[in-house]
Amino acid sequence: MSSEHSERRAAGSVGAVESPASGLPKRGPQNRLCRAAGAAAPSGGSEPHAVGSVGARLLLGCIADDFTGATDLANNLVRAGMRVLQTIGVPDAPLDREVDAVVVALKSRTIAPEAAVRQSLQALAWLQAQGSRQIYFKYCSTFDSTAQGNIGPVTEALMDALANVEGGDFTIATPAFPDNQRTVFKGHLFVGDVLLSESGMQNHPLTPMTDANLIRVLQAQCRRQVGLIDYRVVAQGEAAIRARIAELRAQGIGIAVVDALSNDDLLRLGPALKEMALLTAGSGVAIGLPANFGLAPSSIASALPAPTGWQAVLSGSCSLATNRQVQAFIASSRPALALDPLRMAEQLAAGVDVAAEALAWATPLLAGGPLLIYSSADAEAVKSVQARLGAAEAGTMVERVLAAIARVLVERGVRQLVVAGGETSGACVQALHITQMQIGPQIDPGVPWCHAQSDAAGQGGLHLTLKSGNFGGDDFFSKAFAVLP
């Protein structure tokens, strides 16, 4: 534990007792969340840690309903001063390092509500066993859900599990993320200048959002009554927000949608949430939370081990932003290899090892600096590939090839890896057997560098960044390597 880190903690942090030995808060009676009555034991059967163990220091335990959403939340927490670990799924072992927050990434957004509830409760039990003082359920900033859920059912299951915990009888719900053009006004969600229901999200294939009134949307998914803390209350700050929460509680309301029009609103909201056992939100609310634990923005929060090894970019995203990034990288005269899915399909059918061919191209070039291997293509080209191969088949085939390339590149010494594409990232992380990522400095909004252990990388692990399609500026692929010292 560095002394710099302990200095980041302001005096008088919430219910935290400074441990003279570590500078980190000890878990004490004020750790209200530790194994709530009725909460199930985590799957590994681990018990809560004793005071002073590593797991005892966890301040915030987060459950995210998808992978890139988890990284987005982790990134906001790091920028506000927390050291954050993201796990892929619920870990089967106790936390083995000092961090302030853990974000457990699930893939529960569009699965059956019962399965989403089960996985979320498993994550809750694990986080409680690590001593989490507060739980944060993170969902999409466009409130992606169906009439059945999963935001409502998961929220209520978490509330039920926390029912006997102080501050567990009431929670908030707000997807507001003004930095990303998501604002909530009188309970209605706006995406940029238009209502959610006119933003294109009304046509989403899995979670069509046809109503921008979040109170109505959430109420349809919940037994508990849903109320509103409106922008006028939020504008008045902590005391007014607390008074409004007391009023809603007295009316028997269990969940309040909260208006937020700006980051200032989110920062005003933060202190009023200090004693709440459970928060539910997009990633925006996170910016106001680390201060509740006496933490302030600091480069220590995003510190990662020193980077080593070769540098490579793998891109399977076909989004507009990624296509621009590919073109910018090529224009910078760095080596780039295009993979053509139609040729790939023919080669695979003929028993050719497509990954080996790409690796034979890449290996002698690695010493010369970053290189790019990409299948990214414009919408027309993608359409014609999909017409020939089928959309799902083409997607899976390309993901498998890129993931196989990622694994061997790392085995051959790449230790700084950029992956573009949400599904592509998932495939690469799986091929590298990565289960945890320490979150580091932001490259562009929503996209940080991470450090992870992988059996392909040996002892020192590797740095990687997982960019979801539309994130990042045109120079992202070059900028990424410049951000790592």
Residues near ligand ADP (CB under 6 A) are 316-319, 322, 341, 375-377, 382, 385-386, 394-395, 398-399, 421-424, 468-469
- Which lies closer to ligand ADP via its Cβ, residue 48 or residue 469? 469
- Which lies closer to ligand ADP via its Cβ, residue 199 or residue 221? 199
- Which lies closer to ligand ADP via its Cβ, residue 76 or residue 319? 319
Provide the minimum distance between the beta carbon of 369 and ligand ADP in the complex, in angstroms, as a whole number.
24
Calculated CA dihedral for residues 465, 470, 471, 476, nearest 10 degrees:
70
Among all residues, whose Cβ is closest to ligand ADP?
469
Provide the minimum distance between the beta carbon of 401 and ligand ADP in the complex, in angstroms, as a whole number.
9
Of 26, 30, 37, give the one whose Cα is nearest residue 15.
Answer: 30
- Which lies closer to ligand ADP via its Cβ, residue 322 or residue 438? 322
Provide the minimum distance between the beta carbon of 403 and ligand ADP in the complex, in angstroms, as a whole number.
10
Provide the minimum distance between the beta carbon of 458 and ligand ADP in the complex, in angstroms, as a whole number.
27
- Which lies closer to ligand ADP via its Cβ, residue 239 or residue 391? 391
Provide the minimum distance between the beta carbon of 392 and ligand ADP in the complex, in angstroms, as a whole number.
8
Provide the minimum distance between the beta carbon of 203 and ligand ADP in the complex, in angstroms, as a whole number.
16
- Which lies closer to ligand ADP via its Cβ, residue 31 or residue 322? 322
Provide the minimum distance between the beta carbon of 192 and ligand ADP in the complex, in angstroms, as a whole number.
20
- Please, which residues have CB within 8 angstroms of residue 255's CB and are 6 or more apart in sequence? 155, 159, 170, 171, 172, 173, 218, 222, 224, 225, 226, 227, 280
Provide the minimum distance between the beta carbon of 425 and ligand ADP in the complex, in angstroms, as a whole number.
7
- Which lies closer to ligand ADP via its Cβ, residue 301 or residue 385? 385
Provide the minimum distance between the beta carbon of 103 and ligand ADP in the complex, in angstroms, as a whole number.
19
- Which lies closer to ligand ADP via its Cβ, residue 238 or residue 423? 423
Side-chain-side CA neighbours of residue 262 (13 Å)? 6
Of 73, 6, 15, 1, give the one whose Cα is nearest residue 293.
Answer: 15
- Which lies closer to ligand ADP via its Cβ, residue 169 or residue 474? 474
Measured between alpha carbons, how far is 182 from 460 in angstroms, rounded to an integer? Answer: 39
